[in-house]
Amino acid sequence: MKKLIVNADDFGRQPLINQAVAEAVDKKGLLSTSLMAGEPYFAEAVDIAKKRPQLGVGVHLTLVDGRPVLPAEEIPTLAVNDGRFLPDHGAFVKHYVQGKVARKDIERELAAQLDKVLQAGITPTHVDSHQHMHMLPGIFPLVLQLAAERGIKRVRISRGIYGNPFTPWPGIGDLIGKFGLETLSCIDRRQAKAQGFACPDNFVGQVAGGAVTEAFMNHLAENFTNGSVEVMLHPGLENESLIKETGWQHDYEAELHAVCADSVRENLSRKGINLINFGDL
């Protein structure tokens, strides 16, 4: 059976992202998203999700480039940037390997994020993370533990580029990052499976952005084999506003168009590819 999860990350971060997710669901372009518990438009995202019961909502666990749920004084080794997290994965990994991030702070904050989503009346379909931080050694086992304690048994494994749309690679840093993530993913997948977690067979994504296009989605449909694939997206409205706010040079509009395009829906249907969310794994 052919199963496709199109997942919109960063739900709750910005109204232009929330509105894009709503539009993509309404146009039958996606059925899965990942919610950031600490971001200012969390409540708006929850309202959008509750009005669309077909939308599976996961928890986009966040340790970088965002706002914590807990007060800064309760997680002092995480909230080190005027009450916010470190700006990106590079800064976090450096602190983490140097022993500057306390495990108890990670555990408290991730538990608080999961609980906030549950308390909002959302039953999470899965867990993943902002900039793939859940994949790190020491953090991944903790994520599995916290998720399982809350009845969540599906997780993203950020690996297995399936017809990668993001070539050529921008630089050596991205190649190193991809290699590291691929290595971790092999270890993490075995651990997740051993603990009864489900995860897609393949993953489309990259360490450093790059928009999924209509052409790529059609290429994916034409070359889809049996099994499951997750396509990670960051759809949004108004590129200029989102790039300015997030500091990320990303084509949000292109990704929204890609999953809503008539040609994509027609090709997926013609090839017998079922659009699902993590809850259907």
281's tokens: 């794994």
At 179 the pLDDT is: 55
Contact between 219 and 263 (Cβ < 8 Å): no
Return the number of other C-beta atoms located less than 10 Å from residue 271's C-beta. Answer: 14
At 249 the pLDDT is: 87
At 178 the pLDDT is: 58
- For 165, which DSSP code? T
At 184 the pLDDT is: 84
At 176 the pLDDT is: 44
Q: Which CATH superfamily is 2-280 part of?
A: Glycoside hydrolase/deacetylase (3.20.20.370)
- pLDDT tens over the chain, length 281 residues: 999 999 999 999 999 999 999 999 999 999 999 999 999 999 999 999 999 999 999 999 999 999 999 999 999 999 998 999 999 999 999 999 999 999 999 999 999 999 999 999 999 999 999 999 999 999 999 999 999 999 999 999 986 444 444 444 444 345 445 556 677 888 999 999 999 999 999 888 754 456 889 998 999 999 998 999 999 999 999 999 999 999 888 899 999 999 999 999 999 999 999 999 999 99
Return the number of other C-beta atoms located less than 10 Å from residue 208's C-beta. Answer: 17
Helix, coil or strand: residue 117: helix
- Residue extents of the structural domains in the chain: 2-280
Nearest to 254 by CA among 266, 245, 242, 244: 242
Contact between 126 and 154 (Cβ < 8 Å): yes
Q: How far apart are CA 39 and CA 14, in angstroms?
A: 8
Strand partners, 2: 227, 273
At 170 the pLDDT is: 46
At 164 the pLDDT is: 47
Q: Indicate if the alpha-carbon torsion angle 134, 137, 138, 143 is positive or negative.
A: positive
The pTM assigned to this predicted structure is 0.92
Q: How far apart are CA 246 and CA 280, in angstroms?
A: 32
Amino acid at 136: L
- For 166, which DSSP code? T
DSSP H stretches of helix in the chain: 15-26, 42-50, 89-97, 103-119, 140-149, 172-194, 214-222, 239-246, 252-260, 262-270
At 173 the pLDDT is: 45
179's tokens: 């290699």
- For 169, which DSSP code? P
- For 274, which DSSP code? E
Conformation bin of residue 9: beta by default, left when phi > 0, alpha when psi is -120 to 50: beta
Contact between 31 and 25 (Cβ < 8 Å): yes
Question: For residue 199, how many C-alpha atoms fall within 13 Å in the half-sphere facing its CB?
Answer: 23
Strands 227-233, 2-11: pairing kind = parallel
205's tokens: 């994504």
Length of the chain: 281
At 42 the pLDDT is: 98
